[in-house]
Amino acid sequence: MKLTAEISMYPFREDYIEPIQWFIDRVSTYESIERKTNAMATQVCGEYTDVMQMLAIEMQAAHEKFGKSVFVCKFIGGALDLGHQQ
Protein backbone atom coordinates (compact mmCIF):
# COMPACT_ATOMS: atom_id res chain seq x y z
CA MET A 1 0.00 0.00 0.00
CA LYS A 2 1.22 3.49 -0.84
CA LEU A 3 1.33 6.35 1.66
CA THR A 4 1.69 10.08 1.07
CA ALA A 5 2.80 12.24 3.98
CA GLU A 6 3.46 15.92 4.49
CA ILE A 7 5.93 16.86 7.21
CA SER A 8 7.06 20.17 8.66
CA MET A 9 9.89 20.52 11.16
CA TYR A 10 10.00 23.32 13.74
CA PRO A 11 13.33 23.30 15.63
CA PHE A 12 13.43 25.10 18.98
CA ARG A 13 16.42 27.28 18.05
CA GLU A 14 17.13 30.58 16.35
CA ASP A 15 19.20 29.05 13.52
CA TYR A 16 16.29 26.84 12.38
CA ILE A 17 17.35 26.60 8.71
CA GLU A 18 20.34 24.31 9.40
CA PRO A 19 18.38 21.47 11.08
CA ILE A 20 15.53 21.70 8.55
CA GLN A 21 17.94 21.47 5.59
CA TRP A 22 19.79 18.62 7.31
CA PHE A 23 16.51 16.72 7.71
CA ILE A 24 15.47 17.33 4.08
CA ASP A 25 18.89 16.23 2.83
CA ARG A 26 18.62 12.98 4.80
CA VAL A 27 15.09 12.30 3.56
CA SER A 28 16.41 12.77 0.02
CA THR A 29 18.77 9.79 0.40
CA TYR A 30 15.90 7.26 0.41
CA GLU A 31 15.69 6.14 -3.21
CA SER A 32 12.39 4.31 -2.75
CA ILE A 33 10.63 7.44 -1.48
CA GLU A 34 9.59 10.34 -3.72
CA ARG A 35 10.16 13.76 -2.13
CA LYS A 36 8.96 17.27 -2.97
CA THR A 37 9.81 20.28 -0.82
CA ASN A 38 8.29 23.75 -0.89
CA ALA A 39 8.53 26.78 1.41
CA MET A 40 6.09 25.32 3.95
CA ALA A 41 6.62 21.56 4.08
CA THR A 42 8.07 18.43 2.54
CA GLN A 43 5.83 15.84 0.93
CA VAL A 44 6.94 12.24 0.60
CA CYS A 45 5.33 9.29 -1.12
CA GLY A 46 6.22 5.62 -1.15
CA GLU A 47 5.35 2.26 0.25
CA TYR A 48 3.60 2.63 3.59
CA THR A 49 6.23 0.81 5.65
CA ASP A 50 9.12 2.57 3.86
CA VAL A 51 7.70 6.03 4.59
CA MET A 52 6.88 5.26 8.23
CA GLN A 53 10.29 3.65 8.87
CA MET A 54 12.08 6.59 7.25
CA LEU A 55 10.15 9.08 9.37
CA ALA A 56 10.86 7.15 12.58
CA ILE A 57 14.59 6.91 11.80
CA GLU A 58 15.03 10.50 10.65
CA MET A 59 12.90 12.18 13.31
CA GLN A 60 14.84 10.30 16.01
CA ALA A 61 18.15 11.27 14.37
CA ALA A 62 17.06 14.92 14.25
CA HIS A 63 16.09 14.91 17.92
CA GLU A 64 19.39 13.30 18.87
CA LYS A 65 21.44 15.77 16.80
CA PHE A 66 19.54 19.03 17.35
CA GLY A 67 17.49 18.53 20.51
CA LYS A 68 13.90 19.66 20.75
CA SER A 69 11.94 20.04 17.53
CA VAL A 70 8.27 19.77 16.71
CA PHE A 71 7.28 17.67 13.70
CA VAL A 72 3.84 18.21 12.21
CA CYS A 73 2.69 15.41 9.89
CA LYS A 74 -0.34 14.73 7.75
CA PHE A 75 -0.92 11.30 6.21
CA ILE A 76 -3.15 10.08 3.42
CA GLY A 77 -3.42 6.46 2.35
CA GLY A 78 -2.50 6.12 -1.29
CA ALA A 79 -0.15 7.82 -3.71
CA LEU A 80 -0.69 11.46 -4.61
CA ASP A 81 0.95 13.25 -7.52
CA LEU A 82 3.53 15.40 -5.72
CA GLY A 83 4.14 17.40 -8.86
CA HIS A 84 0.49 18.50 -9.19
CA GLN A 85 -0.06 22.25 -9.58
CA GLN A 86 -3.25 24.23 -10.09
Q: Over the stretch 27-71, which tens digit does the pLDDT of each residue have?
A: 999 999 999 999 999 999 999 999 999 999 999 999 999 999 999
pLDDT on residue 81:
84
Name the band, by pLDDT with cuts 50, 70 and 90, for residue 83: confident
For residues 1, 23, 12, 49, the Cα torsion angle rounded to the nearest 10 degrees is 20
How many C-beta atoms lie closer than 10 Å to residue 51's C-beta? 23
